């Protein structure tokens, strides 16, 4: 059977490549895809294919029907279908051969986009596993859409009609589950219709996780429409009044029903392949260890309404997967309950008592916007205590939040962390309320005044020194030195220059923490670092309105990924930061955590921080922006037992003003405090990195080369190949037949 199928597939491919049609389709596909990708990707400065994948279903919406519209309809119109079937070939082999040929052509089109990740690799370390999963998802999507297109080609002998029918059905599959499509349907039926939507299944694979449920969905869609295409071919052969035709109809209905049931049951199949770095969507070993060591029953209650909008439905699926993994790892000591307050008054009363309110969401009705209420909250209960998430709006940090709740509830004693906060203008949002709130989930956080001479309390194990302190006398400095000498850990966040945004100026300032850090041989320099290659964009007013431009003083610091503190972090935004001097440290005690690119320089004393200015390029090199110091790594046996230190030449990045837009900084601070407290259990959970790596080219030239080689070079290459191949084929077709062996 495979030989006739492969022969037909090669025939389809040969037709596409022996005529201009195939090359036109490839050029249009690559032109649109690459142009739209780079228009978005370079604004985000992230090495990811998500901009391409977000548009791929809409591009395939037209590309797949254009490839398949002639496969069966042209044979039916020209009468060659009967000739083909008169050969030793079955209708099943015909349909599969045509399908395989069209699918291989679509896969070739996708393969030509591989130049995009190859180009991005010049500016970042690519997440190869994620991109492999994304291409698998793209092939599965193409397989489903090709099946739809082949069916559309079987129902009509007109190619244009087949194209329109294919586009219409694919459009419905993309929009299935949207509010206007399911408004007014009963909840169960609405949920069933939403499960048929293409985008949720494709978006799940686009994250880098090949879920068996999503694979089953795409394969079942392809199988369903191939079955219908087979019926479309057979119905031309059989008389409408004969019993054979009726048996064919019944068999087609049964096969289609079986494929649909497989699709629906596939939503309950477990199993997934997580190809993300560090397996970001798989329970970490620390989570499994914590859950496996539970000594008493912990209850996790999910309060969820069955009828939720599609965007919440995706979140609900992720929550269900995570809680199922939690239950398995809990070894009988973790119980998971799913309650629907909309259907159970007792569950509604319990949700209110736990502080879980109903969520108000909108849906579009036939003539008006309707507001509905539902629940999507989680409560973790242990003994008489409880921790809650009132509304789950994201799942990327849900594992950490739940496991931190469980640790907090089941641990009788908390580590004490002291927060030394110093800001001159707290009214401008430069406070550290968000940092305190996050630390309080795991630690007992206490405020420690900077300007005080009393010894630091003995129960405090870690200090967070946030912001430049006021001028401190020797007695005030001595208390911090004594804390470090007794083995306490410190996270120092301070810049060597004070920024005045209103005057667009920055000036060096005295930094008392440098005196405390003198025994470690590290300090914060009185400078401001700029990076011409790895930086963020800011919006500035122009004559054409506000436009984003690169701002070298807002550095996208690159992680060295050298230790657990930053192992799963790719980059961190540091606005107006200073460099770290490690020249005086003992060998082996310092580990750089975040650095600039090699295109970084410094300004000392005073600096103009205006975005639109020229930056010197005569002394560019890599600079250390954050480092940790572990004196015990040098094997010291004499002298005081100095504690661990993590030092960052910046304090702005975790203020309330910046932390919402740069969440990586918060993750770094929490990881650093865990490391300083020598409690690394939560680091690998919290630091699961689902953010793509930063895209940092060494200069503007390679950035432009990658862009235009893909946008212009690849289409031109295909055009050149098409011209050469078609010209050569034309010469072959014009050759005259002659006698064998050259005999006249």
CATH number, position 439: 3.40.50
> Does residue 424 surpass a pLDDT of 90?
no
Confidence of residue 253 (pLDDT cuts 50, 70, 90): confident
Q: Does any domain span residue 505?
A: yes
pLDDT score of 267: 58
Distance in angstroms (rounded) separating the CA atoms of residues 691 and 569: 9
> Does residue 327 surpass a pLDDT of 50?
yes
- 391 lies in the same domain as 429: no
pLDDT score of 183: 53
As a whole-number percent, the residues of the chain with pLDDT over 90 amount to 34
- 511 lies in the same domain as 575: yes
659 or 526, higher pLDDT:
526
pLDDT tens digits, one per residue of 129-157: 889 989 999 999 999 999 999 999 988 88
Structurally, the chain folds into a number of domains equal to 3
Q: Does any domain span residue 48?
A: yes
- Using alpha carbons, select from 77, 67, 99 the residue that is nearest to residue 158: 77
pLDDT tens digits, one per residue of 373-408: 788 899 999 988 888 999 888 787 788 889 888 988
Q: Which residues of 552-584 are buried (b: 16+ CB within 10 A; e: fewer)?
A: bbbbbbbbbbebebbbbbbbbbbbbbbbbbbee
- 297 lies in the same domain as 259: no
pLDDT score of 240: 62
299 or 570, higher pLDDT:
299
- 443 lies in the same domain as 389: no
pLDDT score of 502: 73
- 197 lies in the same domain as 308: no
pLDDT score of 368: 44
Distance in angstroms (rounded) separating the CA atoms of residues 168 and 176: 12
pTM: 0.66
- 34 lies in the same domain as 150: yes
pLDDT score of 46: 79
Whole-angstrom CA distances from 28 to 203, 234, 714, 720 are 24, 34, 11, 15
> Does residue 426 surpass a pLDDT of 50?
no
- 143 lies in the same domain as 63: yes
Considering 627, 656, 678, which residue would you say is the last residue of a domain?
Answer: 678
Q: Does any domain span residue 690?
A: no
The domain spanning residue 310 has which CATH number?
3.40.30.10
- Report the alpha-carbon angle 19-24-29, nearest 5: 140
pLDDT tens digits, one per residue of 43-62: 777 788 888 888 899 999 99
> Does residue 640 surpass a pLDDT of 60?
no
Confidence of residue 11 (pLDDT cuts 50, 70, 90): confident
pLDDT tens digits, one per residue of 182-232: 555 565 666 666 667 788 788 778 878 888 888 888 988 898 899 888 888
Give the three-class secondary structure for 706.
helix
- 304 lies in the same domain as 265: no
As a whole-number percent, the residues of the chain with pLDDT over 70 amount to 85
Q: Which residues of 274-302 are buried (b: 16+ CB within 10 A; e: fewer)?
A: bbbbebbbbbbebbbebbeebeeebebbb
pLDDT score of 365: 45
pLDDT score of 344: 86
State the average pLDDT for the chain: 84
- 268 lies in the same domain as 299: no
> Does residue 611 surpass a pLDDT of 60?
yes
Question: For 446-458, what is the mean pLDDT?
Answer: 88
Considering 274, 298, 330, which residue would you say is the last residue of a domain?
Answer: 274
Q: Does any domain span residue 617?
A: yes
pLDDT tens digits, one per residue of 684-739: 676 666 677 778 787 788 888 999 999 999 999 999 999 988 888 777 777 665 56
- 152 lies in the same domain as 264: yes
pLDDT score of 145: 95
Whole-angstrom CA distances from 561 to 241, 491, 566 are 72, 18, 5
- 561 lies in the same domain as 661: yes
Q: Does any domain span residue 566?
A: yes
Considering 249, 274, 299, which residue would you say is the last residue of a domain?
Answer: 274
C-alpha 690, offset from chain centre: 5
- 602 lies in the same domain as 469: yes
Q: Does any domain span residue 539?
A: yes
> Does residue 573 surpass a pLDDT of 70?
yes
> Does residue 414 surpass a pLDDT of 50?
yes
Confidence of residue 451 (pLDDT cuts 50, 70, 90): confident
- Using alpha carbons, select from 269, 273, 378, 271 the residue that is nearest to residue 319: 378
pLDDT score of 532: 93
Confidence of residue 428 (pLDDT cuts 50, 70, 90): very low
pLDDT score of 8: 86
Q: Does any domain span residue 169?
A: yes
Q: Does any domain span residue 2?
A: no
pLDDT tens digits, one per residue of 480-500: 999 999 999 999 999 999 888
351 or 236, higher pLDDT:
351
Which residue segment(s) compose the domain that 248 sits in? 8-274
């Amino acid at each position: 059977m495979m030989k006739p199928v492969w022969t037909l597939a090669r025939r389809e491919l040969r037709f596409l490549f022996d005529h201009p049609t195939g090359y036109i389709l490839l050029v249009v596909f690559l032109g649109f895809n690459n142009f739209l990708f780079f228009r978005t990707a370079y604004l985000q400065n992230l090495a990811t294919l998500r901009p391409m994948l977000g548009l791929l279903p809409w591009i395939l919406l037209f590309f797949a029907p254009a490839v398949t519209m002639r496969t069966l309809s042209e044979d039916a119109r020209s009468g060659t279908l009967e000739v083909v079937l008169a050969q030793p070939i079955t209708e099943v082999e015909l349909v599969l051969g045509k399908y395989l040929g069209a699918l291989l052509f679509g896969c070739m089109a996708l393969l030509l986009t591989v130049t995009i990740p190859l180009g991005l690799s010049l500016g970042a370390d690519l997440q190869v596993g994620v991109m492999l999963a994304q291409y698998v998802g793209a092939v599965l999507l193409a397989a489903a859409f090709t099946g739809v297109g082949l069916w559309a080609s079987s129902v009509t002998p007109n190619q244009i009609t087949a194209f329109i029918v294919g586009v219409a059905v694919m459009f419905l599959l993309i929009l299935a589950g949207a509010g206007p499509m399911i408004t007014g349907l009963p909840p169960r039926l609405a949920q069933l219709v939403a499960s048929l939507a293409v985008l949720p299944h494709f978006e799940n694979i686009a994250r880098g996780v090949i879920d068996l449920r999503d694979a089953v969905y795409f394969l079942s869609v392809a199988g369903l429409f191939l079955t219908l295409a087979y019926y479309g071919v057979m119905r031309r052969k059989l008389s409408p009044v004969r019993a054979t035709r009726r048996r064919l109809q019944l068999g087609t209905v049964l096969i289609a029903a079986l494929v649909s049931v497989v699709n629906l049951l596939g939503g309950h199949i477990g199993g997934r392949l997580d190809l993300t770095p560090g397996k970001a969507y798989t329970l970490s070993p620390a989570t499994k260890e914590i859950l496996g060591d539970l000594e008493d029953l912990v209850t996790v209650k999910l309060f969820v309404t069955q009828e939720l909008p599609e965007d919440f439905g995706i979140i609900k699926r992720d929550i269900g997967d995570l809680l199922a993994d939690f239950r398995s790892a809990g070894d009988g000591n973790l119980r998971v309950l799913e309650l629907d307050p909309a259907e159970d008054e007792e569950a509604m009363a319990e949700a209110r008592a736990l502080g879980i309110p109903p969520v108000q969401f909108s849906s579009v009705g036939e003539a008006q916007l309707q507001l509905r209420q539902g629940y999507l909250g989680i409560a973790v209960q242990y003994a008489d205590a409880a921790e809650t998430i009132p509304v789950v709006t994201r799942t990327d940090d849900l594992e950490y939040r739940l496991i931190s709740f469980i640790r907090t509830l089941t641990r009788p004693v908390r580590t004490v962390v002291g927060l030394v906060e110093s800001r001159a203008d707290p009214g401008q949002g430069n406070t550290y309320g968000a940092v305190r709130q996050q630390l309080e989930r795991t630690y007992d956080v206490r405020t420690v005044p900077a300007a005080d001479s009393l010894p630091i309390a003995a129960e405090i194990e870690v200090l967070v020194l946030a912001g430049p302190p006021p001028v401190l006398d020797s007695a005030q400095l001595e208390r911090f030195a004594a804390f470090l000498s007794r083995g306490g850990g410190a996270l120092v966040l301070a810049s060597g220059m004070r920024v005045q945004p209103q005057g667009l100026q920055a000036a060096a300032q005295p930094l008392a923490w440098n005196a405390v850090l003198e025994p470690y041989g590290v300090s914060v320099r009185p400078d401001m670092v700029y990076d011409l290659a790895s930086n963020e964009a800011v919006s500035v007013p122009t004559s054409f309105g506000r436009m984003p431009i690169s701002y070298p003083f807002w550095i996208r610091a690159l992680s060295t990924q050298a230790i657990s503190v930053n192992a799963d972090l790719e980059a961190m935004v540091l606005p107006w930061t200073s460099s770290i001097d490690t020249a005086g440290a003992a060998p082996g005690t310092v580990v750089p955590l975040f650095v600039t690119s090699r295109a970084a320089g410094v300004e000392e004393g005073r600096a103009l921080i205006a975005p639109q200015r020229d930056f010197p390029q005569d002394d560019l090199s890599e600079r250390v922006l954050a480092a940790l110091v572990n004196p015990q790594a040098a094997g010291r046996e004499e002298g005081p037992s100095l504690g661990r230190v993590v030092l960052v030449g910046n304090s702005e990045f975790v203020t309330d003003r910046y932390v919402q837009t740069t969440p990586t900084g918060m993750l770094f601070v929490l990881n650093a405090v865990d490391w300083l407290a020598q409690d690394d259990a939560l680091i690998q959970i919290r630091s699961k990195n689902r953010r793509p790596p930063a895209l940092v080219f060494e200069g503007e030239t390679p950035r432009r080369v990658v862009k235009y080689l893909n946008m212009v070079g690849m289409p031109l290459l295909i055009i050149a190949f098409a011209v050469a191949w078609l010209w050569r084929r034309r010469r072959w077709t014009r050759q005259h037949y002659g006698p064998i062996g050259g005999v006249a």
